[in-house]
Amino acid sequence: MKFQTQIALASACLLLFSIPRCLANNKDKRPNSLQISVNRNGRAPKIDGYLSKNEWKNAAVIFNFTQKEPREGEPVSEPTFVLITYDHKNIYFGIRCFDREPGKIVANEMRRDSDLSNNDYVEIIIDTFYDQRNAYYFATNSLGARLDSEIKTEGAHINWDWDGIWHTSARRDNLGWTAEVEIPFRTLRFEEGEDISWGINFGRYIPRKREEAYWSPISRNDDFDDYGKFKASKFGVLKGIKYQGHDKRLQIKPYAIGGLEKNFVTNRPNVLPSASDNRVTDVGLDAKVHLTSNIISDLTVNTDFAQVESDVEQVNLSRFNLFFPEKRDFFLEGLDIFNVGEESYAEPFTLLFFSRQIGLNTDPTTFETREVPILGGVKTTGKEGSYEVGFLDVVTDDLNYTNLDTSLVTIPKTNYLSLRLKRDIFKRSYLGVMALSKDPLNGDNYNRTFAIDGFFSFDNNISLNGYVA
């Protein structure tokens, strides 16, 4: 069985590599798209919400926004300007949103990753690989709230739990409101060079008018599934960036924990329990290595997830299990490359690979969930040319416990392995293969899965997505 799986995987990979170049994405130049060229700024703007003339004097300017709603094709009702510049570390955006009625500007969210749909807000969407498929999404309101995500396959997969490093500041005045955004280049993945081209779009939403406008127009026909703004094939083009070399190739985040644990034990009634002291210590680290500007490796040793954001409490009145997304940093980087079959328009019904199952064990009889220690792991994700790759290898420790019905449960050390390869074809489609393996290290029964999937986009609103496992 192992040999047959290896043969099938090798055959599928060979098929992807043998696809003719004429079928692969050739980075269409999109001659009819809006284009903007930027210049390098020797002085970095201060991110304080004030659009100082001295700081932004050499910036490129965008102003011709077009409505999608409510009057499709007409200019935005409130003038909107975007300034763009960059230096050796960051790209900067200065945004001026004029408003004839500034007292009616809606701003009631400041929390990270909050829903901004009821606020006045602006959006920056960047296709850094210029492949008309994938992008980074950033949004902010007049209070400086931050909302971001990774977009894959023009919105078919969206990772809203991705938290990039970026900074913003906003202010309101009698003309409307302004915002300044700083995005470090090390937050983004892209091909370095002396003449970099990115797909890019900007959006503005005015809730009291139900008005939605974009720099590169998004029509209602493009927005059949309400994800039109994520269609990277509709973006304009940003040119003129020159960048060589990410500033940090290695990032290390160690941790150490120390404490004292007391276990109170008594065997006789009316006798005070005795206490035994146990010292609790633990060390570990996480590391991120930039193998290239596009491919990142994440390493973890003796992982501790105590700092991870807690899940949102939900009440389940159905007979189906609740879906809680992955929030652990080690797994979040490039997580969407491992998605096969499911789209992001709603909670998934089936997932061939769900990283949250690694490090957790649910008892099949009592449904009790326990944490399983992770000894270590490595994950490599990224994109080179027309190929997107993902590799994940994690080892969990053994665990022995007594469940609610007093049965002894033993979970052996287990190795989890996932290998993913995707190849862009045609203009906005792809083919992919995936191999999964779960192997207890004591030689017990193993589990292996092999899948072939594809996404074929025929026009703005017709696509075919499926997989065979």
Highest-confidence range of 25-29, 250-254, 389-393, 458-462, by mean pLDDT?
389-393
pLDDT tens readout for residues 352-409: 888 888 888 877 777 777 888 888 999 999 888 888 899 999 999 888 877 766 777 7
Residue 129 has pLDDT above 80, yes or no: yes
∠190-196-197 over CA atoms, to 5°? 90
The mean pLDDT value of the chain amounts to 82
Per-residue pLDDT, 155 = 80
Asked if residue 276 has pLDDT above 70, the reply is: no
pLDDT at 277: 61
Least confident segment among 10-14, 299-303, 394-398: 10-14
* Residue 145 near residue 169, CB atoms below 8 Å: no
Which tens digit of pLDDT belongs to each residue from 103-122?
999 999 998 888 999 999 99
Q: Which pLDDT does position 352 carry in this prediction?
A: 83
pLDDT at 378: 93
User: What is the rounded CA–CA span in Å between residue 191 and residue 290?
Assistant: 13
Residues of CATH 2.60.40.1190 domain(s) within the chain? 33-243
CATH, domain range 33-243: 2.60.40.1190
Reported as a single tens digit per residue, the pLDDT across 304-319 is: 776 777 777 778 888 7
pLDDT in the model for residue 137 = 96
State yes or no: pLDDT of 1 exceeds 50.
no
| pLDDT top residue among 8 and 262 | 262
Q: Would you state the pLDDT for residue 90? A: 92
- pLDDT higher for 82 or 322? 82
| pLDDT tens profile 47-99 | 999 998 888 988 999 999 999 999 999 999 999 999 999 998 899 999 999 99
- Convert the chain into a string of H (helix), E (strand) and C (coil): CHHHHHHHHHHHHHHHHCCCHHHCCCCCCCCCCCEEECCECCCCCCCCCCCCHHHHCCCEEECCCEEEECCCCCECCCCEEEEEEECCCEEEEEEEEECCCHHHCCCCCCCCCCCCCCCCEEEEEEECCCCCCCEEEEEEECCCCCEEEEEEHHHCEEECCCCCCCEEEEEEECCEEEEEEEEEHHHCCCCCEEEEEEEEEEEEEEHHHCEEEECCCCCCCCCCCCCHHHCHHHCEEEEEEEECCCCCCEEEEEEEEEEEEEEEECCCCCCCCEEEEEEEEEEEEEEEEECCCCEEEEEEECCCCCCCCCCCCCCCCCCCCCCCCCCCHHHHCCHHHHCCCCCCCCCCCCCCCCHHHCCEEECCCCCCEEECCEEEEEEEEEEECCEEEEEEEEEECCEEEECCCCCEEEECCEEEEEEEEEEEECCCEEEEEEEEEEEECCCCCCEEEEEEEEEEECCCCCEEEEEEC
- Please tell me which residue, 128 or 284, carries the higher pLDDT value: 128
pLDDT in tens, 418-431: 999 998 887 778 88
pLDDT of residue 9: 53
Q: What percent of the chain has pLDDT over 70?
A: 83
pLDDT of residue 146 exceeding 90 = yes
pLDDT at 268: 52
Label residue 201 exposed, middle or buried (CB < 10 Å: 0-12, 13-18, 19+).
buried
pLDDT at residue 267 is higher than 70: no
Q: Which residue has 């949004």 as its token pair?
A: 139
Residues 171-226 have pLDDT tens digits of: 999 999 999 999 999 888 888 888 899 999 999 999 999 999 999 998 888 766 66
- 280 vs 288, residue with greater confidence: 288
pLDDT at 411 over 50: yes
Longest dimension (CA), the chain: 86
Q: What is the pLDDT of residue 463?
A: 62
Tell me what percent of the residues of the chain surpass a pLDDT of 90.
33
